[in-house]
Structure 1
Amino acid sequence: MSTAVRSPQEVFADHGERLGTGDLDLVAGNYTEDAVAITPAGTFHGRAGIRQAIGHLLADLPDAHWQLTPSFAGEVLLLRWSARTTEHEVADGVDTFVFRDGLISAQTVHYTRTDRTA
């Protein structure tokens, strides 16, 4: 068994796959036990908090089509994103991720969800 710590890029790629499953326990497994997420819905702590934070995001944008532009700098990721659902869209999504020991230790999330126009 390998003891190599995953790179931020590997963690982020795995994070995207896990998000796609909608399984909040699986998603939370990519975060440290003491992780913190700061989102428009509030500040969330630990893996239980991560499940809540991700749950809010997925509920806001169910079955979304995502466009991601990641920029890595060492253990930090700036992620610019947009998303569209049948009823809503986000044009200004910005997250930051801080990685530690092959997991996500902190994340900030900012986005404005608007109604889609025909």
Structure 2
Amino acid sequence: MTRTPQEVFADHGRRLGTGDLDHIAGNYTEDTVLITPRGAFHGHDGVRQVIGRLLADLADADWQLTPGFAGDVLLLRWNAATTEHEVTDGVDTFVFRDGLISAQTVHYTLNHRTA
């Protein structure tokens, strides 16, 4: 049985928490595409690059997520904060296919936190 987008997204969150990029990539199709302001990244190598940078930028962050599902598409608005950095404008879009993530857009502005 194929997982719902909600189930995939919940599992994605658990996998992100491990920091294991290979484990995270397992929730994406082989032909996935991730589009960021830095360009398009393809396949599991692309997942490792994009998600690896996100996790490095926001190591041990506190996250606030606002998901909005419509069929096989998710619009995710998010904020995150670490002791040194914060993001207040995070927006991702996910497209799901056959129980996996087949496409994702990622956009956020990393700011230094002020005291």
In the alignment, the residues of structure 2 paired with residue 31 and residue 83 of structure 1 have an alpha-carbon distance, to the nearest angstrom, of 23
Q: TM-score, normalised by structure 2?
A: 0.98
In the alignment, the residues of structure 1 paired with residue 71 and residue 96 of structure 2 have an alpha-carbon distance, to the nearest angstrom, of 9
In the alignment, the residues of structure 2 paired with residue 48 and residue 112 of structure 1 have an alpha-carbon distance, to the nearest angstrom, of 23
Matched, 1:91 2:88: yes
**How large is the Cα RMSD of the aligned pairs?**
0.7
Who is 1:17 aligned against?
A: 14
AA of the residue aligned to 1:19:
L
In the alignment, the residues of structure 2 paired with residue 41 and residue 55 of structure 1 have an alpha-carbon distance, to the nearest angstrom, of 14
Question: 1:41: how far off?
Answer: 3.4
AA of the residue aligned to 1:112:
T
Who is 1:47 aligned against?
A: 44
Equivalent residue runs for 1:1-118 within 5 Å:
4-118=1-115
Structure 1: tracts of 5 or more residues without a match: none
Q: TM-score, normalised by structure 1?
A: 0.95
Question: 1:42: how far off?
Answer: 2.6
In the alignment, the residues of structure 2 paired with residue 40 and residue 60 of structure 1 have an alpha-carbon distance, to the nearest angstrom, of 15
